[in-house]
Amino acid sequence: MLRMRTTGWARGWCLGCCLLLPLSLSLAAAKQLLRYRLAEEGPADVRIGNVAADLGIVTGSGEVTFSLESGSEYLKIDNLTGELSTSERRIDREKLPQCQMIFDENECFLDFEVSVIGPSQSWVDLFEGRVIVLDINDNTPTFPSPVLTLTVEENRPVGTLYLLPTATDRDFGRNGIERYELLQEPGGGGSEGRRAGPADSAPYPGGGGNSASGGGSGGSKRRLDAPEGGGGTNAGSRSSVFELQVADTPDGEKQPQLIVKGALDREQRDSYELTLRVRDGGDPPRSSQAILRVLITDVNDNSPRFEKSVYEADLAENSAPGTPILQLRAADLDVGVNGQIEYVFGAATESVRRLLRLDETSGWLSVLHRIDREEVNQLRFTVMARDRGQPPKTDKATVVLIIKDENDNVPSIEIRKIGRIPLKDGVASVAEDVLVDTPIALVQVSDRDQGENGVVTCTVVGDVPFQLKPASETEGDQNKKKYFLHTSAPLDYETTREFNVVIVAVDSGSPSLSSNNSLIVKVGDTNDNPPVFGQSVVEVYFPENNIPGERVATVLATDADSGKNAEITYSLDSSVMGIFAIDPDSGDIFVNTVLDREQTDRYEFKVNAKDKGIPVLQGSTTVIVQVADKNDNDPKFMQDVFTFYVKENLQPNSPVGMVTVMDADKGRNAEMSLYIEENSHIFSIENDTGTIYSTMSFDRELQNTYTFRVRAVDGGDPPRSATATVSLFVMDENDNAPTIALPTNMSYTLLPPSSNVRTVVATVLATDSDDGINADLNYSIVGGNPFKLFEIDSTSGVVSLVGKLTHKHYGLHRLVVQVNDSGQPSQSTTALVHVFVNESVSNASVIDSQIARSLHTPLTQDIAGDPSYEISKQRLSIVVGVVAGIMAVILIILIVVMARYCRSKNKNGYEAGKKDHEDFFTPQQHDKSKKPKKDKKNKKSKQPLYSSIVTVEASKPNGQRYDSVNEKLSDSPSMGRYRSVNGGPGSPDLARHYKSSSPLPTVQLHPQSPTAGKKHQAVQDLPPANTFVGAGDNISIGSDHCSEYSCQTNNKYSKQMRPHPYITVFG
């Protein structure tokens, strides 16, 4: 069965990489040859070995470094660790010139050189190395032609063996040809009129056999059957015709052989077309195949035979084309066409076929192209002798040609750098301070010739302070020598700046050949002096608003060195790049932009001066550029419009605001004067601080805003100016009390007793000259509402009826309404709202007289309804109490009598229990109040005759109030509390603005006061309009003394005419 391919090229290469082991890890004290193994076709950066470890050198400090002096085409080395690895260029063993004709895998190698450099190149050691290039399976075995033709004579006996053309594999060893296989596709063809039967096909691995024609065996075999007989009568019968056998030749190659295993009848079938496959032994294996066309011819039973199996000869290199080398001779016992022999190349490389020519008829081998021993030193190939019989018979001979050397190559002198000393285009630069015996270059002398022709002698010509020393102490290849070019004396730059070192090499050939090469050594000046500036700090003044490109200053530095070491280049700090620039040669500093002192008034930067020596030395100086000012900026106010808020009633010459103005200029250009352009008679401004003062006191009610302009002028030449607008807003203070427009104190409202609850009785209208919260008014009833009949909306001032009117409420009601604003402190005004409860006005003069007396009645005394109603109620209560008392006494007497009577009657019989006795007298508990006595006492107390007309309440210090004129205390809220009645959205809240500064006196009516319907005799003097103004929060109505206001106005109102009252009627 066929073996499947399970691996790829990568497995073969990885197998090769495993062979990367140093060949020698122990080194003697002397220099040794480093040897490594490496598989071909590897990628870049494949580790080969560590030179430092193999040489026993300790690395890591950085003092010892490594340099690859040769072999860098395929190899590279780490300068610090000594790690040797492959470069980017792949290594193809079959394409290496030195490996073209090498058949031993250990002889194909790459040479390299490694120099070990001590600290500061105080010493240098050179080591040679060799990397053995190992073959991998990267070439496929191929046949000479895709179609191989073999003629086989008919009637050849079974077991006849035919040599087949061998395949060529550029690989060798295990990767070379391993086996051949013979396949036949079904339906093999024959000539027209002839019948060909199908043949079996299967792979056949060739075994190890021999080249004898007598059926040599080795390995398993697969027979290919062909039909026997003719006509088709025996079409079903099959027999073996051909078999493949592989023989191992003495030189180690495999020779495929076709063995006849059955009878051949050209008349039955004149040809067979088989497939010959060749496979190498690589992993994975590579294979190719060719068509093997077997032609059946007449009998040719003798094969050609070479005189010897191996032909050896020497060939001088550079032999002219056409030069004969040797003649191969073979003999064939046959005669005629079957005995005519032709010679052809067998297993031969492309180089052999390109360099040599084989005459097919005579067998002479001659030179086709010149052969250079330095490229090819040996040619090994096979030649086949083939007769012209049908089929032809062949024989094979091996040819080995040794190329002899001629002294045709002059010695080669290669001068390369060594260590850190630069060498380029034949010029080495050496500093004058190098030590004596310092290696400055590596000289490699080689000769491609062999033997004495390649032995070279090398020397330095002329009187120069340099000499050659061997790079290695051991005797190496005489054809290739390496020397270090050392300094033999101190170098002086001032004496000699350049040396031309000529090196001559002579070989030992006859005649000898020589060559020379030269190295120019330039002595470099040591850069030991830095540039120095004359001043450490350079300060210059430069005006702003300049023209870009103007020169600012020039700085100069000097250097004591010479040449490049004394050439100075100037540069600036990166911090000012773009603003300033400097001429690198002259040191002139230029400004690239327009300087603005207001943005930057000072620039400080460094100027660096560098010489062109190695290493570069530098010096620096500090440059300070002071930007001089120009009057190029207008004064600028912080705001275009300044807005200030001040309170009214501010004292004159008080500060009302402050403006801020700035000038970006400096000095006199920034000195400013401030002026008031408008309203200068009202305002003044302070020049230093910008504070604005008022020359008058403000009254917001007269004027609430002021607008004027302030001008600022700087002190430049010419001067510059700017203006700003000042807006001053006068803020309100609570300096006005509310003013009541309606109702007047003399007016009244007629309210029918049948009015429903929530009937609007009157509306108090008030205004306030102030603004904002100071004009926010609040209304409240603070007196004259003992029955809680009325309520006022605190916002709108609407007075509404909130209680049910009864008979006792008939008459005049005086409501004391207080209007407060919301300022701090609050201002207030008091208004009197008169309401007359009656069906109609039958006698207006009586109401007028009552209102007049109301104006003179203290506000602490309530005027509300009919005063006689309470007196009548009290008298009725007394009468009822007396009658009830008399009835109770009579009832008690009757009960006692009946009880005694019943007890005497039932003396000898049933006797009422104690419980019955107690129950009988239980009603007596109701007499404990003794109200008749109390009523009687009250009846005897003095009461006004018409006390039901006016009721005045006054607050006492403890929060209680007087009840009527008896001064009986009862729990009642003070007049400072009121019930709010919601008004419309436009109703002013005037009650919150009312304030009183003095209490009003309490007025008592005399018993002789007239009845309702007549004027009161005791009335408090009140103005016709509501003008009660004060600063307190509530009206004080608990004082028994005359207020300052009432005492001052008593006589005033007695002289005035009383205005006609306003009457409002509800019905």
The 10s digit of each residue's pLDDT in 415-429 is 988 888 888 888 998
pLDDT tens string 167-205: 888 877 788 888 889 886 554 444 333 333 333 333 333
Torsion of CA 173, 175, 205, 256, to 10 degrees: -60
Residue 335 is which amino acid?
V
Question: Is the pLDDT score of 219 beyond 60?
Answer: no
Residue 722 is which amino acid?
A
Q: Quick one: pLDDT at residue 869?
A: 66
What is d(CA 306, CA 649) in angstroms, rounded to the nearest whole number?
A: 146
- Please compute the mean of the pLDDT values over residues 607-631 and round it to a whole number: 89
- Please compute the mean of the pLDDT values over residues 1001-1021 and round it to a whole number: 34
Q: What is the pTM of this model?
A: 0.33
What is d(CA 684, CA 617) in angstroms, rounded to the nearest whole number?
A: 68
Q: Quick one: pLDDT at residue 590?
A: 92
Q: Quick one: pLDDT at residue 872?
A: 67
Question: Is the pLDDT score of 975 beyond 50?
Answer: no
What is d(CA 973, CA 975) in angstroms, rounded to the nearest whole number?
A: 7
What is d(CA 238, CA 234) in angstroms, rounded to the nearest whole number?
A: 9
How far CA 187 is from CA of 121, 260, 274, 1023, in Å, comes to: 79, 20, 11, 150
Average pLDDT, the chain: 75
For residues 1035 and 60, which has the higher predicted lDDT (pLDDT)?
60
How far CA 862 is from CA of 84, 103, 184, 740, in Å, comes to: 125, 147, 146, 22
pLDDT tens string 476-514: 666 788 889 999 998 888 788 899 999 998 888 888 888
Q: Quick one: pLDDT at residue 620?
A: 93
- The 3-state DSSP class for residue 167 equals coil
- Cα Rg, the chain, nearest whole Å: 71
- Sheet strands (E) in 378-435: 378-387, 394-404, 412-416, 423-424, 427-431
- In this prediction, residue 912 has a pLDDT band, given cuts at 50, 70 and 90, of very low
What is d(CA 418, CA 66) in angstroms, rounded to the nearest whole number?
A: 11
pLDDT tens string 142-168: 999 999 998 887 777 888 888 899 888
Cβ-based burial of 511 (10 A; exposed 0-12, middle 13-18, buried ≥19): exposed
- The 3-state DSSP class for residue 927 equals helix
Q: Quick one: pLDDT at residue 1014?
A: 35
Question: Is the pLDDT score of 434 beyond 60?
Answer: yes
DSSP-derived secondary structure letter, 368: S
| Run of H or E including 820 | strand 811-821
Strand partners, 621: 607
Of the ranges 165-179, 911-925, 940-954, which one carries the lowest mean pLDDT score?
940-954
Q: Quick one: pLDDT at residue 32?
A: 59
For residues 957 and 404, which has the higher predicted lDDT (pLDDT)?
404
